[in-house]
A and B are shown apart, each in its own frame.
Chain A
Amino acid sequence: MAVTLSNQGLVVDGQHVPVYSGSVHYWRLERALWPKILDQVIELGFGMVETYIPWSTHEIEPGVYDWGSIDDRKDVEAFMRLCEEKGLWLMVRPGPLINAELTDFGFPAWVLDDPAVQSRTASGSVHYDAAWGLHPPKPFPVPSYASEVFYDAVGGWFDQVMPIINRHLAPGGCIVAVQSDNETCYLFHDQPYATDYSDASLALYRQFLSERYSSIHELNAEYRTDHPAFADVEPPRDCGVAGAADLPLHLDWVAYKEHQIRWSVARIARMMRERGLQGVPVFHDIAWQIVTPLDVGRMESDPDIDWVGMNLYCNQDDYRTVARRMRFLAGVTKLPFVPEFGCGLWSHHHRTFLPEEHEFVTLSALMNGLKAINFYMLVERDRWQGSPIDRHGEYRDDYADFYHRLSAFLRRYPLWEYERDASAMLMLGFDISRHARMMTTLNVAHADLLGLPKELFDIEPDLGLRWDPRFESDYNRSDNWIGQAAESLKRRGIAYDLGDTHVDPKRLDQYDTIYLQTIDFMDPADQEALLGYVEDGGRLVIGPGMPKLDPRLRQSELMARFLSEPGRTDMGRGELVWSETEQLRDVVDSLDGHAQFRLEDSPVELSILRRNEDTLLFLANPTSEASEAVVRFDGEHRFESVWSVNSAVESKDELAVAIEGYSVRVFDVTPPAEARGAR
């Protein structure tokens, strides 16, 4: 390929190109202002931009396209040429789904209004998207991503847009990456029984079952049914789990919902390639979900999808979410990438980011492993607020200041070349989350509008489990096993990435220790993969339970063959450890030594990024109150403050740092002057 992925960014014709980018929506900006706007983008320090290419903006009537002949702002090829003239790389996102606060999310109305395209809810009604505010201007029918009629229409759009994209592919042209669809996930209705029950979806579901089971007899044996054929299998339209016998039907539906997303993103990627796209990676962006129906690990493993990122729109009081998402991307994906990093917000969001929030959230993400970033929207447009460049091409000075400083900082410290000091992974059990998400009767639209507590719809049938999947899978808690693992590692200053049991096993050998959430059940294939990690020299700590069942609660003992009670055992070149929640803190203390740099008990968060001999120390204060952090270490070091505050100090054994609320300090850590001289 002319453009390939590395763990630092893109490689274009052999040259490394960092993904440091910002969104510019050409069709929403005065054509005469394009040159000035792109000059401002470059002056702000960016070498790459990104744009959607919205279907309904260009196909103004069925089969009638405006590529600038009617509205000169729609001349996307002129925009591409301008990027090439100015030396900007470009990422494009031709949909078919766009959002971008566009009417009908950028789908042509006549496509959505075809009943053969529309998704159906569990009750059989049309599935309208109408949640969370003012998606203008009308509720629209959500297309079924299983509908062949939908794909026929998408193919017609791609027939028009792909030749334009293909003419501008790198290295000869500016386009270095293309996105397949956008935040594909049932238009945010991600509850398992909310949708999609259209005929097309049910056909795909039955196809999925026929590939999962060798015959209808095997399915019948599993389901305890007597369906004559796969075509007779009806999916659950609500959670009807009363006992273990009901699990196969429901778990298969939940797995199908994951499959439909992965299958459709891959299919759309193939449709692009069938129309000549070659030589550049195809990526996808996930809105926010790290559990079913999204399965990031398996999506990244799909041969048609090169690269998966996850979007991020967070206010400053949501550091935990920022850190969690970045660590998850670092653990599961090839290149931790945020295709939409909130740089301003949609107009109906009520907590506009202030300039200092841009700074805190961006630095928090970078210190937790982010390596590729697209600021959405770097240039403001209609229905958007709070970007550093307005739609007239002028800087909003108080917002632009941060991006000027950040670009200068990244020229000195290209953080995509640094590695976070993560020696451990916290691994979520994918099937535990599946079980928890499956047990809901929230299958009606608009419950989200009413603001009802989600747990109101939870059900808890007695499946004879010792550990509660819902409690253990809640990664926001600190009192369950995974929460205790996180707290214990933080206390010892040990950095960790996040992952789940569907992560590519080849990624695991970079971690000394994996802390794996396990309860009564676990997929035997996932157990095999992790035992392979142990055989190869890894240390696997599991808990709170030892799995003795598979997810359908049939007897299945793999790990249990090696430990019959909490404790430790050597296996191959590695070690298997089982700890219940109460003992986990002591186990962590006994396994992992202190990190080189660690904090005294403090709300402040610490992160170390290294590049060869270079060391950067980040300290983030995720609270509103000013704080003093005491960093402990062995020996003497020189700390040069390289963000906001310019100063340098040599310290022995500890460093006290004052940090304002919601702010980040960054230090370039080197040996003391005397030692540097000697070296």
Chain B
Amino acid sequence: MIDPNWELVDLDPRTWRAIGQYFPPGQYIRAGSPDEHGLFVLHERGDVLNIVDSQSGRRGDLGIESVSDPSALANELHARGEWDRVHVIDRAHLQSVAATAQDATGRTLQLDQYYRRVAELVWGDGEGYVAVPPKERSWNGWTYEGIEAIVLQIQEPASVALAVIGDDGLVIGLIAEISDGMIRKVTTFDAFPAELRPGEISLPALDRVWRQLSDRFSPPAVVMLCSPALFDRWVCGPEKRRTIEAALEVGEAVVRQRDWAPLFPGMATPV
């Protein structure tokens, strides 16, 4: 999905800070959110090695000496209502995952594929790493497969742009160039004279961005201008499609896309 030699240039610091709160890359494979209250039971093929509460540290008081049924134990502990999530982890499973992930084929994978492989190995065996409630298989409704499918549909060189415009001006201005189903370049509006005025979410503004994108990058495929609140609801909330449809109706977003572009099927203003 990402070109190994992708260009990542001219990153406007304020855009990058603004999107950083949504996408902390170092944490996307985490078992649980850093701010949730978790209980972690580490065992080695049934023999308990350690139990740690993410808030209070080691818990030797729970009276758990062995793990015969990891799922049953995790469910039982979670039912006490003390923790947001309970993790029961077989150390032998982690060792097996590490050895498998670090075999020679690892070198052939792109990093995103590699991380996915690690995640599949960790979570693929139901008894090796049990979490109750289970680890979400999507991030706020977004899946790797879903995003990859969208990117794969863009074969001819094309650009996509997103402008999140608040009352004080541009909050996020992001541009990607894609071809052959791979993201080749990511940049921001840093060196891009879009001159968007505060709160300017309008078709004339969309026209300007579209035109300027055409002048400087590959032919545009999708451009969206929206408010910060809409962006937040779209990225983090459920019902992605309905969120955009409602925003388009009330002018909280404007979108233009080629008819073949896959991001907002049937919704956006055609070119």
Interface residues of A (CB under 8 A from B): 103, 113, 121, 123-128, 130, 132-141, 344, 347-354, 380-386, 390-392, 396, 399, 441, 443-447, 449-453, 455-459
Contacts and interface: CB of A to CB of B under 8 A. Distances in A.
Q: Which are the 5 A-B pairs with shortest beta-carbon distances?
A: A137-B4, A350-B20, A451-B30, A352-B17, A125-B102
Contacts of B263: none
Interface residues of B, number: 59
A138 B102 contact: no
A56 B111 CA distance: 19
8 contacts: A103-B4, A103-B5, A138-B107, A138-B109, A349-B20, A447-B94, A449-B30, A452-B87
A158 to B, nearest CB: 26
Interface in B20-60: 20-21, 23-27, 29-32, 34, 40, 42, 49-50, 52, 54, 57-58
A396 B11 CA distance: 11
Given A139-B107, A449-B118, 7 more contacts: A128-B101, A128-B106, A139-B114, A382-B9, A444-B95, A451-B31, A458-B50
B20 A121 contact: no
Nearest to B20: A350
A441 B5 contact: no
Contacts of A384: 11
B142 interface: no
Interface of B: 2-11, 13-14, 16-17, 20-21, 23-27, 29-32, 34, 40, 42, 49-50, 52, 54, 57-58, 87, 89, 91, 94-95, 97-99, 101-104, 106-112, 114-115, 118, 122, 190-191
Main secondary structure of the interface of B (DSSP, over half): mixed
Contact of B122 (A123, A126, A138, A450): A450
A384 B222 CA distance: 26
A137 B98 contact: no
A103 B95 CA distance: 27
A451 B27 contact: yes
Given A349-B20, A441-B91, A456-B40, A396 B114 contact: no
A121 B52 contact: no
B13 A344 contact: yes
Main secondary structure of the interface of A (DSSP, over half): loop
Contact of A390 (B3, B5, B10, B103): B10
A21 B77 CA distance: 55
B48 to A, nearest CB: 11
A210 B62 CA distance: 47
Contacts of B10: 390-391
Nearest to B38: A453
A458 to B, nearest CB: 7
Contacts of B17: 351-352, 354
Contacts of A133: 25-26
A446 B26 CA distance: 12
Contacts of A456: 40, 42, 50, 52, 89
Nearest to A384: B11
